A and B are shown apart, each in its own frame.
Chain A
Amino acid sequence: MIKELLMAGFLALEDYIAKHVITCLIPAFLLAGAMVTFIDKTLIIKYLGSEANRLRSFSLASISSFLLAACSCTVIPVASGLYYTGASIGVAFIILWVAPAANILALIYTGAILGTKMVLSRIVSALLMAFIVGLVMVLIFERRPKESLLKAEAGEKSIIPKKYLILIILILLSLLSPNYLVRSGPYWHKVLVWAFFTFIMVIYAFTNIPKEKINDWLRETWWFIRLIFPLLLLGVFIVGIIGKILPEEWIKTWLGGKSLSASFFATLIGAVSYFATMTEAPFVDTLMKLGMGKGPALALLLTGPGISLPNWLAIAKVFGVKKTLAYIPTVIILGTLVGWFFGNFIF
């Protein structure tokens, strides 16, 4: 019995990792490393802190969350830093929500495993939820706009110099083209496409980027690999075993179809348990193969990495219990509704 379970775990590992390491994970980590190294985050945060217009600051917060680093360990200090230096509570919680629920690493991996439609739904619903969460937090806790301590001076340097932007676009190409251009055929087709674009990217990097910066970039990339890869391996392994243990009937009864209750259970599972970034995708994939509905799957994809028990505690410690008690139920209600809506009207 134990041997069988271990085998299931290893099979899952072989399946997911072998098919994703070269064409998906490596470029994704390179991309994350490049964004951390080359994008001037301080400037983004300055703009965010000084932007008084709510609609504009909310949009800016949502979009920049895609670009800010992926691990939740960065996100809480950034959000609290913004809040305590004077940004709106809405902006802080939007970052707290979007960065883990829809960061670029997780989105890419979701696309590779679950397909384009699911990843688009994930982006749209994460943004939608972000705006509502921001609005709710502002309505409850902040009647008057705050005076910010941060000021963006006019004419300051740009967020990202052009030559780095080109590099990031090239990495994106090496990442997206194998997974989206090559839809069928054997795996080595993808590798070939990947190798071609990576070759161009490497040539560009070595001829246009200072050596020092390349070192910084590779060092940041290595950090992402060291932080996330072991968690991902472990996550996929556990997912393989869970898929073997869980009876299909349970999944079909509790998480199947597109009912409101299925969405609610999926949201609840996601809201309580901790998913390291990216592990939610294979987990959802396994559950879907066992009969989970698409709507509940989306709900789990969002709340799984978005919130977890340890993250409730961390938020409570930094922002206070009251704000946490407003934030978590809002996310749970929204997640349930989003899962139900997409399950019934979109998928």
Chain B
Amino acid sequence: MNAHTARPARSIRTVLLAGTIMALLGVLGTAAWLSFEGSAEEAQELFDARLATSARVLEAFLARQVERSTLSSPIVITLPGQIESAGHDEPGPLGHYYETKIAFQVWDSDGNLLVRSASAPAQKFAPLAAGFSEQRFEQQPWRVFSLRSGQVWIQVAERDDVRSELSEKLAFAAVVPLIAGTVVLLVLLALLIGYGLAPLAKLAQQIEARQPGAETPIRLARTPAEIAPVLDALNGLLRRVRDALERERRFTADAAHELRTPLAALKVHAQNVARAATPAERQVSLERMLTGLDRTVRLTEQMLAYSRAAASSEPAQTKVPLRTLVAEAVEQLQSHIRERALRVDIASEPANELAEVSGDRQKLGSLVGNLLDNAVRYAPERSTIEVALRRTGDEVSLSVADEGRGIPPELRERVFESYYRMPGSAGSGSGLGLAIVKETAQTHGASVEISDARAGRGTRVVVRFRSELAPRTLY
């Protein structure tokens, strides 16, 4: 897709298939080995028993007769020529080629060879000791059984490859179905994994094809239980992103709209300056234009503050003393306070309480500044503005009260809307002050409440912070 695509981790399909193959190989390998070992051992036991039986048969028919005889040369018992030269392992009418791989010898106690089969050498197969043993001659491993019968030793031997051929075949017969089953299983598994993962591919397609502003949540025809939580979380995120986008869009549209009137005023005054017929007219229009500029600057600052307050980012976590913020706000408004002969009373409880809350200093400063600005703006001349900081338990509250005309109860929710101005409050307000207060309070986990300052008169705004609680974010 693009250069930023992360290098993918090993795919689920590969991991599952490789894991399954390795596990199967381990299990089957062990099974095959055990099967081989088991059948080889069983075959060994069977062959050993048969070897011993052969020795006893020889003993029964041969040993007694040769015991007392003296022979100038050993008797050699030959096999029919066809068998010796057959070279294949198909049984024939006379016997089997493998008979050449089976041999016997009969020795007397003095070490003279009495009888031997044609396939047996003239030397001893093994030292004359009773029981089974492994020997090598003619570059071949042999299994030898020695039996003493009176004065005679009977040795019967069988080439190992006869035996191992059987046990290999037995083991192979056991393993082949396992291997075939494994192959079938792997193919089935690959198909199943493909089917199981198909919803993921569908999901990826849907996300890829999605427009940023799309309204509908992502839906899959078949949502496996494992993907459902992912899908829910994804749709939740999409919804929040869309809401945030919508708020941004509305904010921009509102801002553009709200700027029209102050800009219209600026333009009218500027043109009036240009068209002025007398210096007096020019002076009047110029002063009005400057007032308009100040207001427009203030409006854009408030827009920025509101945009910041409403931003979903985690607020910075510093201890902010509200008392200091109040002092700063009063200082900022000093000229207006003096001009309108207002009195600002600041009370804290308990005394000297700094009323610290944790949060973003700039945003909290904007909250306090806007509360005081409103109070100063709407307070009648020569009245008193009361600011109270209070700590009770784990709550810190800031209360600002003025003696203005108050906010009627039915408008106490609406005044928090952005750009809402109360009827009759014509003029300089941006309509954003209380919206900034509300947004900032929300991101700091505080509540805002408007009431009468005194029964039926004035406005009191109280912001309550939970000092122990970490500020909450909107998201």
Report whether chain A binds chain B.
Answer: no
A interface with B by C-beta (< 8 Å): none
